[in-house]
Chains A and B, each alone.
Chain A
Amino acid sequence: MRSRDLLGLVAGALLAGVSSVDAADYGQRPEVGYGKPVADADLVLWNIDIHTPDGANLPAGEGTVPAGKLVYEQKCIACHGEKAAGGPVYGTLVGGIGSMTKSPRVLTPGSMYPYAPILFDYVRRAMPMDAPQSLTNDEVYAVAAYIYNLNGLVPDDFKMNATTMARIEMPNRDAFVRDNRPDTLAERCMSDCKPIGTVADASKPAAAPR
């Protein structure tokens, strides 16, 4: 009995040591819940993110390259320019394939996206920038067909839909690696140190460690 009391005291003191002012329940999950049940059917208009590696959650619908050209010329050209080659507010959406090992890398949906459905997900939620979420699914498929056609990734007679989009082979598919930092292993030198180096210094051979 006594030793248990003592243990309780020690535990209490330890807890107090963690934070001497907070009550014991501060930051602990309360035994209440104020969320109300929501059904999948309530969320059909919200649940629009696409699992882009396999196209899961791509909606029904279809679009062609010529239909996409029409959508593009009505709703996108003002900002992205003729043939998506760059306009007054944004650079090109076309080209750059093969530039990843060069400097600068040219980033476009064609050169950069590892999975084709990224374009559907992004255009549906964010474009046209002045009227996001205003396109029909057919229009999004069509304008995606047009942009990927300009990038040489799909033929002129391509029919873009949930199945065909997920199958497009993207040139940058295998370029991504997951975070593996820390990758710099700097040391805390206090005297007789190497002066602060620049980016240009990094292309010279590394100095022998002191």
Chain B
Amino acid sequence: MTKAGDPRAAEAVSWGHQDEGEAAGVIMPASTPRRGFLKGAALAGAGLMTGSVAKAAPLPIPESNTVMGDPIPAESYGLPTEFEKHVKRRRSDVFKNKQNFSDWSMTPLQHQIGIVTPNGLFFERHHNGVAKIDPDKHRLVIHGLVDRPLEFSMDDIVRYPSVSRFHFMECSGNTLTDWREPKSVTVQQSHGLLACAQWTGVPLSWLLAEAGVKPEGKWVMFEGGDGSGHLRSIPIEKVMDDALLVYGQNGERLRAEQGYPIRAFFPGWEGNTCVKWLRRIKVVAEPDQIRGETARYSDPMPNGKWRQFSMVMECKSVITSPSGGMSLKGPGLYEVQGFAWSGNGKITNVDLTFDGGRTWREAAIEGPALDKCLTRFRYRWNWDGGPAKLASRAMDSTGYVQPTVEDIARVREISGFVQHHNGIFPWTVAQSGEVSNAIA
């Protein structure tokens, strides 16, 4: 028992004061169990009202202090604790596909801490399910307009010196349900086709140099070993610039969903160009113009036109906390958090508005702000308890400023299944504290 005058009691009181702001500042995603949090907040409030009066009973010894913990298994692949079970990658439940083979699942960005997405939460987009490939049997070939067509085993590929780089990956279709109407509730639903990892592999330029690209070779076709034989053609300049052949992601071999044993990676370019389960590279003069380069992954433009080979993911940002489905617990200090990224370079500035875009102030960018990589921003916001409309706007090292959906709709056609949505994404905070999608 602590007595009045006991320094520990004084400390408890001052903690209570600090907690007032902080406990209120905890923003709970809707899916998180809240009981523990509410209890904590209630205690902090009680402490404040009653000064240094001790509780009826002292804090009990937690059970975990009184028993042996779980033993170490002989071997295991560690998984998150049962209390974090709600943090899951989820299939699109806003746009529902009628089968789950050419479909996608989304990263829970509202729960992502730091810039790296854990491999088990990295979003998926497949065209005919997850291929299962034995690395010992896998072969990669480079042919077409080359002097020496070559075949590689996985043992061959991992023998090269390697490089590791941090880059985001975003699906061209990210946010496509939310142009005209606020269809998504959470940021996982609106922006979850986005993730970031440290990628390890071999620069593609090395292997192409080994094969010897002929002068007529201006594009390079990449084809996967999955049940859709997914393929895309990439201009040779990008391939020779910063493209990678990756087998490692965040310290381990690729997950099957990410193209095990090997995939192409084009930093800053739409996810579908980063062909998974890669087995064939063909140097060509002009792209084949197959379905994925014409009828899919093209953007509707005014007057019945379609823009194709729009593969760079332009500068974009979103506030992940507070975000849709969350609830603020009364006025006070909140740390606004989010991500900014650009397929054209580094993030240089992120501005935030709290009044729907009339005034903006600069958020703090948390380093490292890497090239073509998720970048964290933070801002300490004192919510006065009134209605607010929050949004972030990023700028990249080319000077490009993230547009509004209005800006985009003035130059493109927003009709049907429209990709490349990098619009500023507002959330409203109601007086009740409820946070909702405010794209329209």
Q: Which residues of A contact B (CB under 8 A)?
A: 25-27, 29-30, 32-40, 42-43, 46-53, 79, 88-90, 100-101, 103-105, 107, 109, 112-115, 118, 121-122, 125-126, 129, 132-133, 172, 175-203, 206
7 extra interface residue pairs, beta carbon distance < 8 Å, beyond A186-B403, A195-B357, A202-B414: A25-B161, A34-B156, A36-B152, A48-B229, A104-B415, A178-B309, A197-B407
The B interface is mostly helix, strand or loop, or mixed, namely mixed
Asked whether B406 lies within 8 Å of A199 as measured between CB atoms, the reply is: yes
Question: From A187, which residue of chain B is reached at the shortest CB distance?
Answer: B401
> Do A49 and B99 form a contact, CB below 8 Å, given A125-B229, A184-B407, A195-B356?
no
Asked whether B409 lies within 8 Å of A27 as measured between CB atoms, the reply is: no
Q: Which residues of B contact A (CB under 8 A)?
A: 98-99, 101-102, 127-128, 141-143, 148-152, 156-157, 159-161, 163, 179-180, 203, 205-207, 209-211, 221, 223, 227-229, 231, 279-280, 282, 284, 286, 288-291, 294-295, 298, 300-301, 303-312, 314, 349, 351, 353, 356-361, 389, 391, 393, 395, 400-412, 414-416, 424, 426, 439-440
Expressed in whole angstroms, the Cα–Cα distance for A180 and B305 within the complex equals: 13
Asked whether B410 lies within 8 Å of A206 as measured between CB atoms, the reply is: yes
Expressed in whole angstroms, the Cα–Cα distance for A6 and B360 within the complex equals: 49
Asked whether B227 lies within 8 Å of A132 as measured between CB atoms, the reply is: yes
> Do A121 and B395 form a contact, CB below 8 Å, given A38-B143, A178-B308?
no
* Across the A-B interface, the 8 shortest Cβ-Cβ residue pairs: A197-B406, A35-B150, A202-B409, A125-B229, A100-B304, A184-B403, A196-B357, A34-B156
- Chain B residues with CB under 8 Å of A206's CB are 410
The A interface is mostly helix, strand or loop, or mixed, namely loop
Which of B180, B210, B358, B411 is close to A195, meaning CB atoms less than 8 Å apart?
Answer: B358
> Do A202 and B410 form a contact, CB below 8 Å, given A46-B280, A177-B307, A179-B310?
yes
Asked whether A113 lies within 8 Å of B360 as measured between CB atoms, the reply is: no
What's the minimum C-beta distance from A200 to chain B, rounded to whole angstroms?
7
Expressed in whole angstroms, the Cα–Cα distance for A50 and B203 within the complex equals: 27
Expressed in whole angstroms, the Cα–Cα distance for A70 and B360 within the complex equals: 63
> Do A53 and B289 form a contact, CB below 8 Å, given A27-B163, A38-B141, A198-B405?
yes
- Chain B residues with CB under 8 Å of A172's CB are 306
Expressed in whole angstroms, the Cα–Cα distance for A88 and B97 within the complex equals: 11
- Chain B residues with CB under 8 Å of A53's CB are 286, 289
- Chain B residues with CB under 8 Å of A114's CB are 289, 294
Asked whether A198 lies within 8 Å of B288 as measured between CB atoms, the reply is: no
Which of B142, B227, B307 is close to A126, meaning CB atoms less than 8 Å apart?
Answer: B227
What's the minimum C-beta distance from A123 to chain B, rounded to whole angstroms?
10
Which of A38, A101, A202 is close to B150, meaning CB atoms less than 8 Å apart?
Answer: A38
What's the minimum C-beta distance from A56 to chain B, rounded to whole angstroms?
9
Expressed in whole angstroms, the Cα–Cα distance for A172 and B300 within the complex equals: 13
What's the minimum C-beta distance from B385 to chain A, rounded to whole angstroms?
21
